[in-house]
Structure 1
């Protein structure tokens, strides 16, 4: 990799960039269970070659669109954003409660998933409505966790069972796409037809 990275690299990123793909150990389903249970999300990482490509892609997107958020809004979500009072991104939505209206969220594959084993599909649920977080910690409030749990149960777990679904939401400082609300969902052995049904892609 040459030139400055388009985002702040953390210690995990630097460690990964010093590896080859052959040296990398993929996150397994059991690994992910522990990481999510401990809220140790900073250890999630991409495969070295994927991270190099992601850095290059991010640089190109920022050069063309200004921000990754703008690219996702325009090219992936097709949601025309409003500019909020604090200069961030906001959207016109039908219902202020997250997940209450299907028009206010979109489920997509993660275009740049973490380095997980091939049996795992990494999805992202993008929302027009903000999910409340604890202002002190940047983590989800108990009420927000219940809200996400209910949505994940209805949308994913009801189809695959509780042992094949996990979810997490990165704290603000870990998000590579800040200002655009999203929740990560991991599916184990999900059939392709279900992914197509959920994403429309």
Structure 2
């Protein structure tokens, strides 16, 4: 059949059909970026032929096939380019809208200033944080503090800390203690956080369980896990936005993972590193496009901590661990790290997580994890 089609093409074009054919197809070849194609055999020499000539038998059907394939290739490339352009524009608009809404005004479009955002008591709103407690640290500084080895460098705005201390007095008077307030009111075990004034962009579908039959939000009876892991049942967890966040940039979410089961456990933390973890805590990073800042860069960040009187000499940290102990430390935090990676997808979020050591825990009677999360 192929031979019949070639013979028909020869009869149609006559002698010199290849030249005529090339003259007809050459402009389309050039537009599509196809090398010049000739029907002359490779042993024929001609100084007039370009060096890029591709020697192979060609007829009209072959030319049509080549052109169609090239057109399909161009259409696919154009479709992919349009898709990525649309995606880039959408991400840019989303980022611009978030920045505009947080920096230029509230949801009603009103400018954010001390007149439009009066100070209240109790947990602050996002607008109050922006106007009255602007961030003292950059995202890079926060990551540096976390990776420095002394989690005590992470601070709340001093004025906000004073407001928190005053609020705690009322909470203790009403509930008896902060732990009782958390257990009996604030923490919604196995349910979404609906009480926070600071909302999150991340919608967590793991919390879909209904409350207990008696209307409480406490976990049902049953044998709890021995320690916190990446697959801890949600009824033992309450993930909320920190009502009293540290001084973080406006595009950083400060989330708390409260858990009914312990985070530190002998099955995870070897006895040889227990004293170290008790002093330093645990920390890690997910979703970063580059390694976290080296602790050696900390001196450049210390001016941001001047109002707290922090100096290198006042830091509380252990010596650099040996390779063997570094492996044990990573293992001690492996379950937390995996949990954070699963919840804050690394393609969409970058995080710095940490578990404060006992010396820094504001609520030592209840285990919890801090997560700083930035949406990419």
Pair in the same fold by TM > 0.5: yes
Output the CA distance in 1 between the equivalents of 2:149 and 2:163. 27
Task: State how 1:30-45 maps to structure 2 within 5 Å.
Answer: 30-45=140-155
TM-aligned CA distance change 1:178 to 1:46, over 3 Å: same
Deviations 1:71-105 (A, max 9, x none): 111111256xxxxxxxxxxx966433414212211
Q: Deviations over 1:45-83 (max 9, x none)?
A: 11132111101011111222221111111111256xxxx
1:168 alignment partner, one of 347, 354, 364: 354
Q: Which residue of 2 aligns with 1:144?
A: 332
Query: In structure 1, the residue corresponding to 2:244 is in which secondary structure?
Result: coil
Equivalent of residue 123 in structure 1, options 255, 269, 278: 255
Aligned to 2:243: 111
Distance (whole Å) between structure 2 residues aligned to residue 38 and residue 185 of structure 1:
16
TM-fit CA distance, 1:177: 0.9
Structure 2's unaligned 5+ residue stretches are 1-131, 190-220, 283-328
How large is the Cα RMSD of the aligned pairs?
Answer: 2.4
* Alignment map for 1:57-72 (pairs within 5 Å): 57-72=167-182
Matches within 5 A, 1:79-94: 94=224
- SS of the residue 2:239 aligns to: strand
Instruction: Label 1:92 to 1:36 Cα distance change in 2 as closer, same or farther (>3 A).
Output: farther
Secondary structure of the residue aligned to 1:34 is: helix
Aligned position for 2:343: 155
Q: 1:125: how far off?
A: 0.3
TM-superposed deviation, 1:118:
0.7
Aligned length: 156
Give the deviation of 1:159 after TM superposition: 5.8
- Structure ID, larger Rg: 2
**Matched residues in 2 for 1:172 and 1:93: separation?**
26
Q: What is the TM-score normalised by the length of structure 1? A: 0.69
Structure with the higher fraction of residues in helix conformation: 2
Counterpart of 2:183? 73
How far apart, in 2, do the equivalents of 1:93 and 1:53 lie? 39
Task: Identify the structure with bigger relative contact order (alpha carbons < 8 Å, sequence gap 6+).
Answer: 1
Q: What secondary structure, in the 3-state scheme, does the structure 1 residue paired with 2:344 have?
A: helix
Q: Is the 8 A contact 1:157 1:165 kept in 2?
A: no
The match for 2:372 among 183, 186, 196 is 186
Q: Which consecutive unaligned segments of at least 5 residues does structure 1 have?
A: 1-20, 80-90, 191-201
Give the Cα separation in 2 of the matches to 1:171 and 1:60: 27
Separation of aligned partners in 1, 2:223 and 2:144: 35
